[in-house]
Amino acid sequence: MKAVALLLALAATSAAPAPVTGRWLTVDGKAVVAIAPCGKAICGRIVEVRNPAPGQATTDVHNPDPAKRNRPIQGLTILTGFTAAETWWTGEIYDPKTGKTYTSYLAIEGARLKVQGCIGPLCQTQYWTKA
């Protein structure tokens, strides 16, 4: 009986996704995103904008809500509502370059964070590195 309980505990532990919290450098190297608990979920916000190009927007100018277009990019929450699934985290990702929000999946692959943004079955994948 103890062996069965131990096996069930190990199976439950191995099914949990690896933690994704920490500071991550985006694929283009232009931002650092800090991922941390927020309430019962995991969220991520831009904590540093690196080497912005001249003329590049520093506010959320593409947001579909005109009232939010003056929000600074630095400090902007872009990952929201992430909860643990089988071997990944699922939630939403906001892209300030387009003003669109996508279903998203996060998972650790080696030393990188796999970040997917999806519309239905079509997903785009990026790999972020530890900052």
Please write the tens of the pLDDT for every residue from 34-44. Answer: 999 999 999 99
Q: Is residue 4 situated within a structural domain?
A: no
Q: Is residue 8 situated within a structural domain?
A: no
Give me the domain span that covers residue 101.
Answer: 17-130
110: left (phi over 0), alpha (psi -120 to 50) or beta: left
Count of structural domains, the chain: 1
CATH code of the domain containing 60: 2.40.128.520
Instruction: In whole angstroms, give the CA distance from residue 37 to residue 45.
Output: 11
Helix, strand, coil shares of the chain, percent, nearest 5, are 15, 50, 35
Q: What's residue 13's pLDDT?
A: 46
Which helix (H) or strand (E) element contains residue 24? strand 22-25
Q: Is residue 5 situated within a structural domain?
A: no
Mean predicted confidence (pLDDT) in 45-69: 91
Q: Is residue 76 situated within a structural domain?
A: yes
Q: Is residue 70 situated within a structural domain?
A: yes
